[in-house]
């Protein structure tokens, strides 16, 4: 069992949920490092920041001198959640995405190569595969990489760098690629919290194009359980897809939220489509099912209600809103 973990980006949406899962169910020791940019929130960790098995250090993984100070011990595994993830921001300014997602990953790989950590697990995304046609089979791990925006290109670049380190240096590294996550505490720039915020305040909800872009939705706690399964049982050099089998169009998601809150569809406003907008994502997670007997346990109709209820009961969360994305 892995006992001493370095988690990067643990103040972000998925990273904080993962730390919470570990602290509740294991005795692992966790060091969480995060640069605390717009993509993370220290409030995500308030409920466990005094846990004796947890420590936080404010660190930017792209700053080598800062990162060096974290390695006052040898870690059993690095789990890398740290990333710039907001597509619209990557289109507006791609530099920070390349810098963080590629250079930061390189510095972490170098620590494994130098013996400062025994293994590394990279949290990637289905967006590296590009876009699927309407009737095309969901992405398998063997699907070629074909990213269509600067964010997904930076993540694909990091994945390729990891693969090269595995093949060249034989260091134990693994990659997970997940579909769209949703749940409590998500950054308010993302689709579901943004739509909830706009609906609650009777604001127009801008939707890209015709709203028929399809995503596979995965409840964040199911994702975290899959990551834990791979952390314990995954094999070096392997890639694992993690999906929810809940493919829904953006307009369908918006209407579900409006109907649940009791707001008019008249709030929907179609706007010019995003540049390079992928039409459809879908994940084939049969490798996880066949290899580890993992499957998502949260039906979308239950997960989305839980999520909406959380935001309705925590409306102060939206004070972190900034330049929210179109949907």
In the numeric block, which tokens belong to residue 199? 């609906």
Same domain, 192 and 143: no
Q: Which H/E stretch holds residue 4?
A: strand 4-8
Answer yes or no: are the C-beta atoms of 13 and 317 closer than 8 Å. Answer: no
Domain count, the chain: 2
Q: Let me know if residue 290 belongs to a domain.
A: no
Q: Let me know if residue 289 belongs to a domain.
A: no
- The C-alpha atoms of residue 25 and residue 225 are separated, in whole angstroms, by 11
pLDDT of residue 61: 95
**What is the residue range of 71's domain?**
4-181+219-242
Strand partners, 177: 124, 241
Which residue among the candidates 127, 159, 222, 278 is catalytic per the annotation?
A: 127
pLDDT of residue 323: 42
Same domain, 177 and 255: no
- The C-alpha atoms of residue 303 and residue 158 are separated, in whole angstroms, by 31
Nearest to 286 by CA among 277, 278, 296, 276: 296
Q: How far is CA 320 from CA 61, 100, 327, in A?
A: 23, 22, 18
127 catalytic per annotation: yes
126 catalytic per annotation: yes
Q: What's 41's domain CATH number?
A: 3.40.50.720
Residue 296: partners with Cβ closer than 8 Å, 6 or more residues away: 218, 219, 222, 226, 243, 244, 245, 285
Q: Let me know if residue 326 belongs to a domain.
A: no
pLDDT of residue 110: 98
Q: Let me know if residue 257 belongs to a domain.
A: yes
Give the helix ranges, DSSP H, for the chain: 13-25, 64-70, 87-92, 95-98, 105-113, 150-169, 191-200, 220-233, 250-261, 286-292, 300-313
Same domain, 232 and 303: no
Q: What's 210's domain CATH number?
A: 3.90.25.10
Chain CA centroid to CA 144, Å:
20
pTM attached to this predicted model: 0.94
pLDDT of residue 322: 44
Q: Let me know if residue 159 belongs to a domain.
A: yes
Same domain, 42 and 119: yes
pLDDT of residue 86: 59
User: What percent of the residues of the chain are helix, what percent strand, and what percent coil, each to the nearest 5?
Assistant: 45, 20, 40
pLDDT of residue 278: 83
151 catalytic per annotation: yes
Answer yes or no: are the C-beta atoms of 171 and 163 closer than 8 Å. Answer: no
- The C-alpha atoms of residue 119 and residue 325 are separated, in whole angstroms, by 35
Which residue among the candidates 34, 60, 84, 126 is catalytic per the annotation?
A: 126
Which residue among the candidates 54, 75, 129, 151 is catalytic per the annotation?
A: 151
pLDDT averaged over consecutive 10-residue blocks of the chain (327 residues)?
A: 88 97 97 89 93 97 95 97 71 74 95 98 96 95 93 94 98 97 92 95 94 96 98 98 97 98 97 87 97 97 97 82 44
């Amino acid at each position: 069992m892995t006992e001493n973990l370095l988690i990067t980006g643990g103040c972000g949406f998925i990273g904080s949920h993962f730390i919470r899962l570990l602290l509740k169910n294991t005795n692992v020791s966790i060091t969480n490092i995060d640069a605390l940019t717009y993509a993370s929130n220290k409030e995500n960790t308030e409920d466990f920041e005094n846990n004796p098995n947890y420590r936080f250090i404010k660190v930017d993984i792209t700053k080598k001198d800062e990162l060096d100070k974290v390695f006052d011990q040898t870690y059993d595994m690095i789990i890398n959640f740290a990333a710039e993830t907001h597509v619209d921001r990557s289109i507006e300014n791609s530099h920070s995405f390349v810098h963080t997602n590629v250079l930061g990953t390189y510095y972490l790989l170098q620590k494994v190569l130098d013996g400062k950590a025994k293994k590394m697990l990279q949290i990637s995304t289905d967006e590296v595969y590009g876009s699927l046609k309407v009737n095309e089979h969901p992405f398998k791990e063997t699907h070629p990489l074909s990213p269509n925006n600067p964010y997904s290109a930076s993540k694909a670049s990091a994945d390729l760098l990891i693969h090269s380190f595995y093949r060249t240096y034989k260091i134990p590294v693994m990659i997970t690629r997940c579909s769209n996550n949703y749940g409590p505490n998500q950054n308010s720039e993302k689709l579901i919290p943004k739509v909830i915020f706009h609906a609650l305040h009777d604001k127009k909800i801008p939707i890209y194009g015709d709203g028929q872009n399809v995503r596979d939705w995965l409840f964040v706690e199911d994702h975290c359980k899959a990551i834990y399964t791979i952390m314990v049982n995954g094999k070096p050099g392997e890639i694992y897809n993690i999906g929810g089998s809940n493919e829904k169009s953006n307009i369908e998601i918006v209407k579900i939220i409006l109907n649940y809150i009791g707001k008019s569809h008249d709030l929907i406003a179609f706007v010019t489509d995003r540049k390079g907008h992928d039409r459809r994502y879908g994940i084939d997670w049969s490798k996880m099912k066949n290899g580890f007997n993992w499957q998502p346990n949260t039906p979308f109709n239950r997960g989305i209600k839980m999520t909406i209820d959380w935001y309705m009961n925590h409306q102060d969360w939206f004070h972190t809103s900034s330049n929210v994305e179109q949907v």
